[in-house]
């Protein structure tokens, strides 16, 4: 593991840390201190090679997360979501393997079923209202990161069998990944 990745993971709270089960509080001040916090989240996410990172994952109880999509340009700034609320979820669901920077340093993957389509209301990094209608991987990343802000981990959303395997692996400091179904891809969020 590279030195920058090691540095990033030293800052990311890992499974068992009580802060990961806390509900984050709404952001009210969109000041220089908040902008610096968002910048730090983005830097840690990039160094850890993650698709997203919620503030709770670095011990901050602010309702903010950053994320990137696979098609985003490498030098494009991360997308920032503040004070998110999923206001609508479609009926169609899809199961896919998810990883998490806070679970075994992204070495643990479990299958998670989530709505394919969602509508999100939030604010951007400057406090401006934001409404997103997203689907597929974009929706999955937003749901995963919003879960973090609500104290919910992907282990809470997987099958009992996958949860048992993942917890055994986490306790042993090992990797875990069930066989993906045809066409499934893993994503570390």
Of the listed 145, 161, 174, 186, which one is catalytic? 145
Would you say 162 is a known binding-site residue? no
Q: What are phi and psi of 122, to 5 degrees?
A: -160, -165
Would you say 148 is a known binding-site residue? yes
Based on the residue annotation, tell me whether 40 is a catalytic residue of this protein. no
Which residue ranges make up the annotated binding site for Fe cation? 100, 144, 148
Catalytic residues: 145
């Amino acid at each position: 593991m590279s030195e920058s990745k090691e540095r990033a993971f030293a800052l990311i709270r890992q499974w068992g840390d009580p802060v990961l089960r806390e509900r984050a509080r709404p952001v009210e001040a969109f000041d220089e201190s908040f902008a610096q916090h968002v910048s730090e989240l983005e830097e840690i996410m990039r160094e850890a090679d993650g698709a997203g990172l919620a503030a709770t994952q670095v011990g901050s109880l602010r309702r903010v997360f950053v994320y990137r999509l696979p098609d985003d340009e490498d030098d494009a700034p991360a997308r920032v979501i503040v004070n998110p609320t999923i206001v609508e979820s479609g009926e169609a669901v899809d199961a896919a393997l998810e990883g998490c920077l806070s679970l075994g340093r992204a070495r643990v993957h479990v299958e998670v079923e989530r709505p394919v389509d969602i509508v999100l209301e939030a604010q951007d990094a400057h406090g401006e209202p934001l409404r997103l209608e997203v689907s597929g991987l974009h929706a999955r990343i937003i749901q995963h990161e919003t879960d973090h802000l609500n104290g919910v981990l992907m282990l809470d959303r997987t099958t009992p069998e996958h949860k048992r395997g993942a917890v055994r692996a986490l306790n042993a400091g090992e990797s875990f990944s069930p066989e993906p179904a045809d066409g499934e891809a893993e994503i570390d969020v």
